[in-house]
Structure 1
Amino acid sequence: MSDTFLGSCDAHGPMQTDAALQAPLFLTGFARSGTTWINRLLRDYFDTGLVNEGQFIVSFGLRLTRYGDLDQKAHRERLLRDLRADPFFSIVRRNYGVEIDWQQVASAQPSFRAITLDILGQIAAQTHKQRIGSKYPVFGRHLDLLNRLFPDCRVVHVVRDGRDCALSHKGVTWGYQNTYSAAVHWQQYIEAARRSSAAMPGRYVEIRYEDLLLHPEQSMRALEHFITGDDSFPVTQRFVQNGMALKTEKVEGWRADMSAASQAIFEGVAGDVLAHCGYPLTGVAHVPSLLERTGYRIHNRVTREGWHLARKVFKRLPERK
Structure 2
Amino acid sequence: MSPGPALRHDRPIFVFGCPRSGTTLLRLMLHSHARIAIPAETKFVLPVYTARCDFGDLRDSKNRRALAEWIARERSTRVRTLGIDADGLIDEIVNGPPTLGSAVGTVFRAYARLHGKPRWGDKRPSYSQHVGALLRMFPDAQFVHLVRDGRDCVASLMEMPWFDADIHHAISAWRETIDRGRRLAERLGPDCYYELQYERLVTDPADELTRLCGFLGEDFDPAMVHPEGLAKRIVPAGKRWHGRTHDAVTTDRVGSWAERLDAWEISLAEAAFGERLAEYGYEPSGLPKPAAAHLARFTRTAAHRRMAQSKAALRERWRQHHEPNPVECLLPAEHTATTAAP
TM-score (norm 2): 0.71
Report deviation, 1:197: 4.3
Match of 1:112 in 2: 100
Aligned 8 A contact 2:15 2:23 in 1: yes
Report deviation, 1:105: 1.4
CA distance in 2, matches of 1:291, 1:255: 20
CA distance in 2, matches of 1:281, 1:187: 16
Q: 2:201 aligns with which of 212, 216, 220?
A: 212
Match of 2:257 in 1: 254
Aligned 8 A contact 2:268 2:295 in 1: no
Q: Secondary structure at the match of 2:84?
A: coil
Report deviation, 1:71: 2.0
Q: 1:266 aligns with which of 242, 264, 269?
A: 269
Write the deviation string for residues 147-181 of structure 1: whole angstroms up to 9, x where unpaired.
12111111111111111111111221222554322
Q: Does 1:173 align with 2:161?
A: yes
One-letter code of the match for 2:250? K
Write the deviation string for residues 62-118 of structure 1: whole angstroms up to 9, x where unpaired.
3323334322334333322332343365x4534x43224210111110001111111
One-letter code of the match for 1:289? A
Q: 2:290 aligns with which of 279, 286, 302?
A: 286
CA distance in 2, matches of 1:160, 1:214: 13
Q: 1:51 aligns with which of 26, 34, 39?
A: 39
Q: 2:70 aligns with which of 82, 91, 108?
A: 82
Relative contact order: is structure 1 or structure 2 higher (C-alpha 8 Å, sep ≥ 6)?
Answer: 2
CA distance in 2, matches of 1:160, 1:238: 19
CA distance in 2, matches of 1:237, 1:61: 34
Match of 1:300 in 2: none
Write the deviation string for residues 276-296 of structure 1: whole angstroms up to 9, x where unpaired.
333222344326537961799
Aligned 8 A contact 1:28 1:137 in 2: yes
Match of 2:80 in 1: 93
Counting aligned pairs with the same residue, the percent is 26
CA distance in 1, matches of 2:291, 2:60: 54
Match of 2:176 in 1: 188
Aligned 8 A contact 1:271 1:281 in 2: no
Runs of 5+ unmatched residues, structure 2: 229-246, 302-342
Q: Does 1:235 align with 2:221?
A: yes
Write the deviation string for residues 38-78 of structure 1: whole angstroms up to 9, x where unpaired.
11100002532211214311121233233343223343333
How many pairs were matched up? 276
287-296 or 74-83, which moves further after superposition? 287-296
Q: Secondary structure at the match of 2:281?
A: coil
Aligned 8 A contact 2:64 2:98 in 1: yes
TM-score (norm 1): 0.76
Write the deviation string for residues 288-311 of structure 1: whole angstroms up to 9, x where unpaired.
5379617996xxxxxxxxxxxxxx
Report deviation, 1:214: 1.6
One-letter code of the match for 1:45? H
Q: Secondary structure at the match of 2:15?
A: strand
CA-atom RMSD, angstroms?
2.9
CA distance in 2, matches of 1:192, 1:168: 21
CA distance in 2, matches of 1:257, 1:238: 30
One-letter code of the match for 1:70? L
CA distance in 1, matches of 2:206, 2:30: 15
Runs of 5+ unmatched residues, structure 1: 1-6, 10-16, 298-321
Q: Does 1:103 align with 2:84?
A: no
Q: Secondary structure at the match of 1:132?
A: strand
Cα gap change, 1:68/1:288 in structure 2, threshold over 3 Å: closer, same or farther? farther
CA distance in 1, matches of 2:33, 2:222: 9
Q: Secondary structure at the match of 1:22?
A: coil
Write the deviation string for residues 17-47 of structure 1: whole angstroms up to 9, x where unpaired.
7xx3432111111111111111110000253
Cα gap change, 1:161/1:144 in structure 2, threshold over 3 Å: closer, same or farther? same
One-letter code of the match for 1:99? D
Match of 2:332 in 1: none
Write the deviation string for residues 5-25 of structure 1: whole angstroms up to 9, x where unpaired.
xx734xxxxxxx7xx343211
Cα gap change, 1:268/1:295 in structure 2, threshold over 3 Å: closer, same or farther? closer
Aligned 8 A contact 1:120 1:133 in 2: yes
